[in-house]
Amino acid sequence: NAGVTQTPKFQVLKTGQSMTLQCAQDMNHEYMSWYRQDPGMGLRLIHYSVGAGITDQGEVPNGYNVSRSTTEDFPLRLLSAAPSQTSVYFCASSYLGAYEQYFGPGTRLTVT
């Protein structure tokens, strides 16, 4: 039982490049979400999903796309990276309606 996994752990991008942050969970959780963590800002919700085929925007969705084709995977796409997207990204999952969320180890992304 791996829990929530995220790849890569670290990434450096140049402005304008695209990439996908991967998130997978093996607990059959319906709910998955992406947060970004910036100094002095705490964690802010980017996008979330309540099941395969269903996604919705969080607090800071601009510049990010998501899709949920399977229960296990919830990738986060940056179509054209900007320096403002330099951050640590966390994926989290839970059973629908459950209070406890399981966090992945995070991805540190730097955009130069």
Question: Which chain residues interact with other proteins by CB under 8 A?
Answer: 30-31, 33, 35, 40-45, 48, 50, 58, 88, 90, 92, 94, 96-101, 103, 105-106
Q: How far is the CB of 106 from other proteins (least distance, A)?
A: 5
Q: How far is the CB of 57 from other proteins (least distance, A)?
A: 11
Q: In terms of DSSP bridges, do strands 42-51 and 54-57 run parallel, antiparallel, or are they unpaired?
A: antiparallel
- Closer Cβ to other proteins, 85 or 94, answer by number: 94
Amino acid making up residue 51: G
Contacts of 112 (CB under 8 A, 6+ apart): 12, 13, 14, 15, 83
- Closer Cβ to other proteins, 19 or 102, answer by number: 102
Q: How far is the CB of 27 from other proteins (least distance, A)?
A: 14
- Closer Cβ to other proteins, 17 or 44, answer by number: 44
